[in-house]
Structure 1
Amino acid sequence: MKKGRNILVVILILSFLVCIAPISYALPKSATQQDKVQLLSELKVFTGYNGDYRLNDKLSRSEAAALAVRMLGKEMYVLTNAAEYSKTPFPDVDASLWYAPYVGYCTKEGILSGNTDGKYNPNDFITEKAFLKIILGVLGYEINKDYTWVNLYKKAFEAGLVTEISYIVKEDDNANFTRGDAVNIMYNALALNSKNTRKALFYKLIDEGLLTPAKAAELGLIEDEKITEIEELLVFDQNNITIVFNEDIKAIDKIKIYQVNNESKELAFGIEKMQGNYVMLKTEKQTPGMEYTVEVHKVKDLYENVQEALYTAFIGFMQQTVESDFFRIQKIEPVNEKTIKLFFTHPVNINSENPLYYTISDDNNTFASGDKDQLVIKTVTSEDHCVLLSLKSGTFTEGEQYRVEISGNMTSAYSVRLNDGEGDEMAFTAVAGAVDGFKVLEVIPYENDTILLSFNKEVNPFLAQQIFNYYVTDKDLKPIAIESATVEGQGLRIGEVVYLKLEKKLQKNEKYYVTINNLNDVTKQEYITERTYSFIADYGSVDSLDIVDITPIDKQTIDVYFSNMLDPITAGNINYYTISLRNGSATVYPKGVLYDTNIHPYKVTLFFNNNDFEVKREYDLKVSFEMKDYLGNKAGTTLKERFNASDVEKANPNIEELKPISTNAVKLVFDKPLSFTQTNYLPGNYTLEYNYQGINIKKAPLSVLYINAKTIILLFDELEYDTPYILRVNTIVDFSGTAYKVTGEGTNYKEFKLEKQEP
């Protein structure tokens, strides 16, 4: 029976070991006791008498308290505050004796406690269990919370203070506990993590200034296996960079920054701050787009390890995106060795295609200019704020920095000059990549009567929509008439896809041919001429046009959302919309229809008279089967959707946003669409007021420019910086034709001030 019990104990012990997380020691496990004593002596934790450490002698309870204080690096603190800590709750601890402050400190920190009789018995010899309790307290563990007196040995084994497996089931205390035994426990404790800090105990000695990281590494407490490296270099602006290392740094001997391939051109700098693992540098103004090399010499980490030289590089700060209310270059995106994209803060139009406005410089020398017929500039269909600039001959050199300069005479779609007439410039770094010739990527039977042509570049929209530029035949080369050609106007492939709508349906899985007679890309530099492509009519089904939602805005306005973009002509046909009262005979027709892709490509807004609807009654909207999507596909059936009439009164249109966009122009955005009538676009409808030397000045805009149903531009002779202005509006006519005399306090005017823009 006894043998069976022993086997059970072994099984339980092995099961317990499986559940214990492996303990990592920074100190060598093979150290002799002399090695351990030497280390603890170096740390001034364990002291002897004239070289005699009396390892076989027993340890007193008073000495144990002193060892605990030294393990925490608090001895100087305790002795400095001896008057406070010498007063203990134990009647047998004389406040005048050397050990009193040690006992007092450990008691206040909850590291030790007295016996059941309320005494500490400082001169008694400490038992093994009692000493382990003290060191567990040093590590932050609390009795009756993290362990009990009964399972103390087991906790000591789990923590790593003792390593013999027998401690898992050990119960009897050891009254013959020696100073040598204490050395073994304290040695193990040094490398164990404190419960509260999750850092090895010896770091408390470092934190208290009793041990340097270098000395800790020398003593074998720290194994610095990390090789110092530059982790990253952050460029914040033209004058500030930060070098980030993979570990904390103590010192750097020298830093040098210079242009790549030209070491003589150094970038001057000063060290602003060195802390932890980073160094902040303030440089002189960096050349935008210039590549710089950074050398960092003799980098010393916290363990005194030195890296002789580290290298990294960075690109001189370039303003990636300019944000401005004025007409400015916003950013530049290199496309390939011949082409870049220029983005602006305002929409652009054909005015931006004038090559005479553009010059490209390379290292202060003219690289290419429009006045020498070296550049081609075209607006981009997919992005109304963008132009594509291409070199007619030659290429950009990869990695080289170039600067685009544009004349201030160029105007935006808002009719204001670039950078208020000052012109603008921006640098970019050229990229590699040969120009991919203009070509068809694929021909897809989109529907049974529609062919999709996918191109690798944006097409010239004028030629792309001319049906005579295409020729479609069946397998027997019999021609099939083309009804329409439409350039993609939504999604990620705007301008790169053309849909050919046929007058007859394709036969499923039959072979067909499509020929492109003459088509060029948006830059008009590359052509596809008389190229024929074959395809199999394995078309699938495409969702037909439908009404997705109806949102009554107020008693007189309804928003209708469709499943696709619409054909503008049919979408704007007022006769295609009919509304009838459910379970009634009343029929209502809109007085106005608005479809503007700039406002919402899937939405039609319908306008009605004030008393056309009965509040909260149900109505049915019917949209004609003749309604077409933007590809020319008819709905085919009458579209129907039900809604409840709104009880909200129609609100007056208000100015949603007023923004000065130059020294002679103001942009107005309204919260509701306006009618394209003389009243809204008459300069006399708007008055600008300001005060000049006590004189109240009034003036009207020179002209009013229509952008869309919600946006207009007011052009003045001149606006002054930092002058308070008031813009007053007399009458506003909404899209339904209702005129509103704007008279209410705060509703017929907006205050603004023209502020200087960042350069």
Structure 2
Amino acid sequence: MRTQMKIIMGLLIMTSLVLLTEPISAQESKDEIETVKRLGLMKGYTGELTDEYLSEHATRLQVAIIFLRLKGLEDEAKYYKGTNSFVDYKEVAWIGGRNILSYLKDNPNLGWSGHKNMFRPNDVIDAQAFYKIMLEALGYRLDKDYKWSEVITFAKNKGLSKVADIKEMTNRHLAIALVEGLQALTTDGVKLIDSLDADGIISENSTNIGLENTIVKGNMISARCIDTTAILALFNQEVSLDIEDFNLKDIEGKKYNLKYIEKLPNERGALLISEQLEKGMLYTLTYKDNNIDIVPIVEKDTVAPKIESAVSLEGDLVRVIFNTRNIRKNTLGVDYFTIDSTLDKDAMVTDVQLDDDEMKKDNNRNKTVVLLRIEGLDSGKVYTVSSQQVESYNNEIAAIGESKCIFGAIQMDNKSPELKSVSSVFGNKVDLVFDENNLLDEATALNKDNYKIVPHLEILDIIIERNTLNDDNIIRLTTSNQQNTVYTIEVKNISDGMNVMNQSKSMVFAGQIKSDYQSVNDVKVIDSTTIEITYAYDGNETVLDIANYMIDNGVLVVDAEYKVNTANNNVEYSKVILTTTPMQSKLYQLSISETAQDQLGQPLREKTKLTFAGLPLDTIFDDNITALTLDTFTVKLTFNEVLDETLATNIRNYYIEGLGYPAQACLSIDGKEVVLTIPKQQSDIYKVRINNLVDKFGNLIKNNTVVVFAGIADIK
């Protein structure tokens, strides 16, 4: 039986890999290949895109060159004469290719900073990495507009999805994805191909290349009920909308009439007005072939948008929170805000941006948060920020003088980043702590020329370990191996985007001796198919090679990846998560090959063997679930299981007795918490009925599992 289980799991794994890399036929990609050839984006080895070439895997260096072509920087990079490069530049024999690596190393703002000072030029690229590059070309920025873990989802919302499941892209996949990207809209609202044409990078536009009508007529990416008669639908691009394209039905299949549609400026969205719906009941909105479940959670939203708080973050930046999420975005411009003071009449709002990160916090889930840039504020003075004509989707507007809040201006940051402390970490890293209330400028922070260590230590890599407002910020340097001596580091030119260090600053730190070998600190069993290994030092790509791991008693290692810290979404390169075939409740021995290396390429001294106790296969969904009310519209469910994301975020799988279905179900990064947005509670006891959830092992929750929580009412 155990042998059968291992065979079945092995077949499932191989089947999933086959499905993820299913080839696209030559006929299916014919038009795309002609397009990239005509535009000169792909040239092959001889100028021809042969079937042999199209079947080859696409490499990181190859995609980097295409990225530079899209930027009009290929020739500049190819003939660049720089002194810096990645440590693995010798993997490229072509001089032009080496010049390109040096160019990318010296221009980290292009988004090719590599990992651990390695570029891995010959590695095969996957869809996640490629779509990150296309998003950069469209004007979106990693960690500002989206997180690394959100690349595929964010790209899909921008119309990029044709190769989303491909783990190892071929040149044929590359052609298809490039043409898809050319048709996507940039952050300026124009197609990428037309932007390249306008910039003189290519001499073709969407009309004469035949792409003007090839985009699908918009995908509906989200929809929600504002109340029982108003529905907000958002799309991945600007679309021409017709009410006949939409359909609305309840859970029993009954059709509901949509009365009219209003296209929303600046939102890629539409407001749909329907006949009366029932609060807490589930409906399905269909746009063409796309279905989204929606639930109204208020009868009639008559709330007028009002400012409920304002706080000065620094100098000219003020965070303003409105009492509702129901706000037309085109009424959040600079003309809708005024700044008043009895002592100063010159302050004015110059920019308004949604504070997306702040709106993701639990206490702001139903509110709108904006950041105002205000010119003319004086430190120490008290001001009143007011909004006028900020309008809800239901056309509610606060009365004159009702939407305002007082805040005290704080001093404009005229201080450049100040080096606060320096310390050695692990014998091959140096942490620099800066006293800076603003964000550090990445370009200056990641520039090797701004650091010098005496006695000489080579700086191999630089990362920004922490970069937040109103807190100490940390830059981490990776160096060659240190000695047990005193070093002096000189730092210069670090900026916060407004202020630059006007003179260099030097500090001393005590070096530490790093072992010449990698070592293993710990092995921990997470569950019956998951093991966490902690190395003494950050590893390079060799610690992700499953060939370096062997477990006795017939257990196979099927995957290895770095651990991601769920608290801050940072990758922990010293910790590796192994996925295995199922273990039992017995002792196992894990052998790690001496070829597993740290980031400097230093291996284990010898093969390392560790004994651990396995856990039996989880065959039951743990129904020990707790529920906690966060506010009158929100309840959080906490599980002891890692949940399947698709099922956990399906609102059909939850029902609150006395209230109805939730309007939204959001899963936490660790997969163990679900936050439900529900109809308004009262001070009562409620039961959540849960169905169809599955844990990571495929165990199904019991039908109609009930979790109880105490509701809260509005405090008047």
TM-score (norm 2): 0.39
Q: Pick the structure with more strand per residue.
A: 1
TM-score, length of structure 1 as denominator length: 0.37
Q: Tell me which of the two structures has the higher relative contact order, counting C-alpha pairs closer than 8 angstroms and 6 or more residues apart.
A: 2
Larger radius of gyration: 1
